[in-house]
Amino acid sequence: MAEKTSYTPPKVWEWHTDEESQWSSLNRPIAGATHDKELPRGKHPHQLYSLATPNGVKVTVLFEELLALGKEEAEYDAWLIRIGDGEQFGSGFVEVNPNSKIPALMDYSTKTPTRVFESGAILLYLAEKFGAFVPTEQSARAECMSWLFWQMGSAPYLGGGFGHFYHYAHEKYEYPIDRFAMEVKRQLDVLERNLAERQFLCGDDYNIADIATYAWYGNLVLNDQYEATEFLDVKSYKNVVRWAEEIQARPAVQRGRRVNRIRGPEELQVPERHDASDIS
Ligand X SMILES: N[C@@H](CCC(=O)N[C@@H](CS)C(=O)NCC(=O)O)C(=O)O
Q: Are 181 and 166 in contact (CB under 8 A)?
A: yes
Q: Give least dist CB 216 to ligand X, A.
A: 10
Q: Which residues bind to ligand X, rule: CB under 6 A? A: 26, 53, 55, 83, 88, 100-103, 118-119
Q: Which is nearer to ligand X, 161 or 192 (CB)?
A: 161
Q: Are 207 and 131 in contact (CB under 8 A)?
A: no
Q: Which is nearer to ligand X, 152 or 252 (CB)?
A: 152
Q: Which is nearer to ligand X, 26 or 241 (CB)?
A: 26
Q: Which is nearer to ligand X, 113 or 160 (CB)?
A: 160
Q: Give least dist CB 58 to ligand X, A.
A: 8
**Residues with Cβ within 8 Å of residue 168, at least 6 apart in sequence:** 21, 22, 23
Residue 236 is classified by DSSP as: G
Q: Which is nearer to ligand X, 52 or 192 (CB)?
A: 52
Single out the residue of 210, 40, 46 nearest to residue 125, CA to CA.
Answer: 46
Q: Give least dist CB 70 to ligand X, A.
A: 27
End-to-end CA distance of the chain: 52
**What's the CA gap between 33 and 10, in Å, rounded?**
29
**What's the CA gap between 168 and 164, in Å, rounded?**
5
**What's the CA gap between 80 and 93, in Å, rounded?**
11
Q: Give least dist CB 214 to ligand X, A.
A: 14
